Structure 1
Amino acid sequence: MRLLLLGAALLCSFNALAAFPPSTDTAYMPKPGYPAELVDVVGDARISLNIHNDGSVTDVKVLSATHEAFAVAAKAAAEHWRFEPWEVTADAPAVIDAQNTMIFSPASAPNQFLNAQEVVHNMLFQPCSALNEELALFRKSYPKQPLSSAPTFAKTSAALLLPVFASQPDSQKGMTLNHQLIDALPDIVRRCEAQPARMYSSVLPKELQKVFGIPG
């Protein structure tokens, strides 16, 4: 089994815009068990959770998943996560609303990193028509979730936060770029709906296209 925690730097709630993500360097984050029936299937699951200042985790929820078994495995693992405790201050609240995307890659994949790169590449170069269909299903299935939790947008956010996928120099730059993505989501959706034959990558803001190495 191979599994990549693509959102290794936890995404704080986009509504709160908190600048205090708990460090994953000292976190206990066991990986999910790989569903036996999906041993040769690539997929992903996105979860939300509350992280408390004593390091505990509560309210783990699945926001989206490519397969129900991935959703179950991701939720079960995240419920056992623990983080380094912190002191509550004005800049470090007692509870952090976080999100994380997990990409499941089969053990048969020759290289975990290259497989994850392929997932990101396929996401960026999917046609807008595919994104439109995804968003229609997402809104029907998760009517109370924000656009940022839709699978494509969640994976784009996670990729921006990992320098290995986007050519940004540090995590703070990644957070800045991620906020730009969130602000641009309504426009991205409108442009894709108006031009379904376009590629998703072509409707991203120019700065995001640049960090992903997409020709302007």
Structure 2
Amino acid sequence: MRFCAFSVFLLCSFKALAADVLLIPVFTPKPEYPKQLIDTRYTGKVRVNLTVAAHGGIQATKIIESSHPQLTEATQRVVVQWRFKPWDASHGQPSKIEVTVPILFGARGIEPFSREITVGLRNTLCAYLNYEVKTSLLNFADEPLKNVDVFWYTHDFLAGSYVQLRVSDQSEREALIAQLEKAIPRLVRKCRRNPDHPYAYYLPREIRDVLVGL
């Protein structure tokens, strides 16, 4: 009975969170794929940390991972233009928010090569996750699948400052991370069958509710 009561409490909490979104994208164009990298069929990724001010503009950016300098440049040129819906920082909301966003150039992995670019965990394709899982199983068979980048990025997001703002209780945040790890085998199976679907489509709803809607 305690477990059931706790589950109901979590469900109600996350329903409330769904209506309490802090970062609502208004203008978030994708970077352009550098022509030289298209010609060489190069795929890669960039992760950028954004500091968004309460007026909705980008206050600062920091590249924390990039597989190629040209992808870094393409990302930086665009993300400084991004805009989010302003919020009122005088009613207990923060004056700025930090969030880390993955950008995948070649959203389906190396084979077959694709010019698609996806921005954010919500838009990461199952095809890319399938590629990462296949690569991990071939090259790092003893490593747990939770270390695959897409899963690791999701874990990192759930443990980050944005989710801490939306889910103040540490035990609830830990419950989200536990849900993610428990769901990994199902996510792998679902994505293998449906490579064209967004990976986030198969995440537990409570996790989807706190993802930034990029």
Query: With structure 2 as the length reference, what TM-score do the two structures score?
Result: 0.52
Q: 1:92 to 1:54 in 2, by over 3 A?
A: same
Q: 1:44 to 1:22 in 2, by over 3 A?
A: same
Gaps of 5+ in 1: 1-18, 133-149, 162-171, 185-203
Partner of 2:201: none
Does residue 127 (structure 1) correspond to residue 136 (structure 2)? The answer is yes
Tell me the secondary structure at the aligned position of residue 135 of structure 2: coil
Does residue 43 (structure 1) correspond to residue 44 (structure 2)? The answer is yes
One-letter amino acid matched to 2:189: G
Q: 1:105 to 1:153 in 2, by over 3 A?
A: closer
Mapped to 2, the partners of 1:60 and 1:84 lie a distance apart of: 18
| Alignment RMSD (CA, Å) | 4.3
CA contact (8 A) 1:101 1:154 kept: no
Q: How does 1:37-116 map to 2 (within 5 A)?
A: 37-39=36-38, 40-88=41-89, 92-105=93-106, 109=114, 116=125
- Offset at residue 111 of structure 1 (A): 7.6
Q: 1:23 to 1:154 in 2, by over 3 A?
A: farther
Tell me the secondary structure at the aligned position of residue 50 of structure 1: strand
- Offset at residue 118 of structure 1 (A): 2.3
- Runs of 4+ aligned residues of structure 1 deviating over 2 Å after TM superposition are 89-92, 108-113, 115-118, 124-132, 153-156, 175-179, 204-215
Q: 1:116 to 1:209 in 2, by over 3 A?
A: same
Partner of 2:196: none
CA contact (8 A) 1:51 1:97 kept: yes
- 1:99-140 CA-to-partner distances (Å, cap 9, x unmatched) read 11111128x738879x933211122343379579xxxxxxxx
Mapped to 2, the partners of 1:128 and 1:178 lie a distance apart of: 27
Q: 1:59 to 1:105 in 2, by over 3 A?
A: same
Tell me the secondary structure at the aligned position of residue 88 of structure 2: coil
Mapped to 2, the partners of 1:157 and 1:77 lie a distance apart of: 23
Mapped to 2, the partners of 1:72 and 1:111 lie a distance apart of: 18
Mapped to 1, the partners of 2:175 and 2:128 lie a distance apart of: 18
Partner of 2:183: 207
Tell me the secondary structure at the aligned position of residue 81 of structure 2: coil
Paired residue total: 143
- Offset at residue 211 of structure 1 (A): 3.7
Partner of 2:154: 157
Partner of 2:30: 31
One-letter amino acid matched to 1:33: E
Q: Percent identity?
A: 17
- 1:64-112 CA-to-partner distances (Å, cap 9, x unmatched) read 1121211111122101111111112565311001111111128x73887
CA contact (8 A) 1:45 1:71 kept: yes
Tell me the secondary structure at the aligned position of residue 205 of structure 1: helix
Q: Greater Rg, structure 1 or structure 2? A: 2
CA contact (8 A) 1:30 1:77 kept: yes
